Structure 1
Amino acid sequence: MEKFTVIAGPCVIENQDICFQVAEVLKNLQEEYSDIRFVFKSSFDKANRSSIHSFRGKGMEYGLKVLESVKKEFGLPVLTDIHESNQADIVAEVVDILQIPAFLCRQTDLLLAAAKTGKEINVKKGQFLAPWDTKNIAEKLRFGGAKKFYLTERGVSFGYNNLVVDYRSLPIMRQFAPVIFDATHSVQLPGGQGTASGGQREFVYPLVKAAISVGVDGLFFETHPDPDKALSDGPNQVPLKDFPDMIKKLLSLREFLIEKDI
């Protein structure tokens, strides 16, 4: 049986210090929960930005060095996004899980390039996609030779600058692959601040409790030491100081539901 997976980290790699602060928290949680797999995530580039002036990251070379340092220093598996097919092999030399961003989830060449690396893959379901349409994503990855991959629910478009989670999508998508619930992007308000996306982090916890109750194979969070000063996706990121307590409560809920066979 595969371990339940918790993927967490800052939205974008701002600097090594912030990444190390988050990785230290994840390492401590990993030591406490040996039956859970904790994965550090962060992006070296955020290509889908609201404004041309938005911070995208410091690039692949710097980002991969930081991710490699996180692996060596804290012993955690790492995940990052790729946006172009030619990035797959280079990034796969460092990371354990390649992530396909939501707006690129139907890009066949990108999916096949990721599958060809032999790495685990996490595909964010596009905000525009019905849950049953993720079957086609799974088929593309299997055709490309992927052995282990996840489909991630992150909310669907619901009017302008708003997302909503349809919890029916979780059991539907689990027919095709293990499912991750992306708690923080599900409370995002895309473009909600005009030149940047907004968010409602106060709803992260209740949405995740619901996802655990419905049934998922893992959770995804963005967390930052000071979200209000984060250079990307600050409004929906969980403050790092609150993250351990929240995770412990969520894992307790999951354990209770398993014990009671609910």
Structure 2
Amino acid sequence: MYAQLAKPLYDSFVSGPFVFAGPCALESFELALETAHAVKEAASACGLTAVFKSSYDKANRTSLSSFRGPGISKGLEWLARIKEETGLPVVTDIHEPEQAAPVAEVADILQIPAFLCRQTSLLLAAAQTGRIINVKKGQFVAPWDMKPALDKLFSTGNRCILLTERGASFGYNNLVVDFRSLPIMQSFGVPVVFDATHSVQLPGGQGGCSGGDRQYVPKLARAAVAAGVNGVFLECHPDPDKALCDGPNSWPLEKLAPLLKDLSTIWNIDYAC
């Protein structure tokens, strides 16, 4: 349905570096809008294509009491207003096949969460909308095992697909990044994104919620860009220590511009091999 709209944005991901950035979950419209404006300004100054990211519902929280977001109705209303006021495209998660069509009415990119990267019905429903699809590689999945997921998506005729690396399980409550996964997944013929903030997450590391160590975000992001990744995914927040979701691994909004400047500089290096 949205194939003609998806192609120009997808082509920009193929041809140049880009960033997905925003708070983990939609906490309030005001906070989301403030963040979106900051993301747009920081990315524009570096010549990067920017996409605002945030979730209307985080369905895979550690605890029943964890904050999930405003829900699909209010969340999509906020995302639509943010698109209108900033001009930024938006990406948000879907968790069930029935969510694909209504979310595609607003979101430019439908994101498949890592835990759901092999869910056939969800992948097909998302791809059939014609929107760009971003599939996060599960922490339990080898990079070469994302090829079958791509084949499911391609079977619908939708070729506007992204894959995202977000670390692999390394014992209990820890993740490790194998940077070989970036060129491996790029060899499938799609742009690859590196999730620099979820890669420093400690899943379930605080008992009732996930922990993280944001000091390593810039180091991993720079390494991924040096390795040739197409885009970077960053959760950012005006006050990460008070964020209602994924604060320990979120990057401070005030430090976003310097980080994107560093990444842009590395992207512009002309490597000999």
Normalised TM-score (structure 2) = 0.93
**Alpha-carbon distance in structure 1 between the residues aligned to 2:266 and 2:17:** 13
Displacement, 1:146? 1.5
Q: Which amino acid in structure 2 is aligned with residue 114 of structure 1?
A: A
| Aligned residue number for residue 207 of structure 2 | 194
**Alpha-carbon distance in structure 2 between the residues aligned to 1:171 and 1:31:** 27
Q: Which amino acid in structure 2 is aligned with residue 135 of structure 1?
A: K
**Alpha-carbon distance in structure 1 between the residues aligned to 2:271 and 2:136:** 31
Displacement, 1:209? 1.0
**Alpha-carbon distance in structure 2 between the residues aligned to 1:78 and 1:250:** 21
| Aligned residue number for residue 113 of structure 1 | 125
RMSD (Å), alpha carbons:
1.0
**Alpha-carbon distance in structure 1 between the residues aligned to 2:105 and 2:16:** 23
Would the aligned equivalents of 2:241 and 2:248 in 1 still touch at CA under 8 Å?
A: yes
| Aligned residue number for residue 156 of structure 1 | 168
| Aligned residue number for residue 133 of structure 1 | 145
Displacement, 1:30? 4.2
Displacement, 1:261? 3.8
**Alpha-carbon distance in structure 2 between the residues aligned to 1:123 and 1:244:** 26
Would the aligned equivalents of 2:134 and 2:164 in 1 still touch at CA under 8 Å?
A: yes
**Alpha-carbon distance in structure 2 between the residues aligned to 1:186 and 1:153:** 8
Q: Give a deviation string over 1:190-224, Cα, whole Å, max 9, x none.
A: 00000000000000011111111111110000000
- Give unmatched runs, 5+ long, in structure 2: 1-13
| Aligned residue number for residue 180 of structure 2 | 168
Q: Give a deviation string over 1:1-44, Cα, whole Å, max 9, x none.
A: 5232200000000001111111111221343244x210000000
**Alpha-carbon distance in structure 1 between the residues aligned to 2:61 and 2:224:** 27
| Aligned residue number for residue 98 of structure 1 | 110
1:1-262 correspondence to structure 2 within 5 Å:
2-34=15-47, 36-176=48-188, 177-256=190-269, 259-261=270-272
Displacement, 1:88? 0.3
Aligned to 1:14, the other structure's residue is in SS state coil
Aligned to 2:58, the other structure's residue is in SS state coil
Which of structure 1's runs of 4+ aligned residues deviate more than 3 A?
none
Aligned to 2:15, the other structure's residue is in SS state coil
Q: Give a deviation string over 1:24-68, Cα, whole Å, max 9, x none.
A: 11221343244x210000000000011011011110011001100
**Alpha-carbon distance in structure 2 between the residues aligned to 1:171 and 1:3:** 16
Aligned to 1:150, the other structure's residue is in SS state strand
Q: Which amino acid in structure 2 is aligned with residue 2 of structure 1?
A: S
Normalised TM-score (structure 1) = 0.96
Q: Give a deviation string over 1:136-182, Cα, whole Å, max 9, x none.
A: 11111100222211000000000000000011111111111211000
Q: Give a deviation string over 1:78-114, Cα, whole Å, max 9, x none.
A: 0000000000000000010000000000000000001
Q: Which amino acid in structure 1 is aligned with residue 115 of structure 2?
A: F
**Alpha-carbon distance in structure 1 between the residues aligned to 2:240 and 2:42:** 20
**Alpha-carbon distance in structure 2 between the residues aligned to 1:27 and 1:128:** 33
Q: Across the two proteins, how many residue pairs are aligned to each other?
A: 259
Aligned to 1:248, the other structure's residue is in SS state helix
- Percent identity between matched residues is 57
- Give unmatched runs, 5+ long, in structure 1: none
**Alpha-carbon distance in structure 2 between the residues aligned to 1:92 and 1:195:** 32
Q: Which has the higher contact order (CA 8 A, sep 6+)?
A: 2
**Alpha-carbon distance in structure 2 between the residues aligned to 1:29 and 1:75:** 14
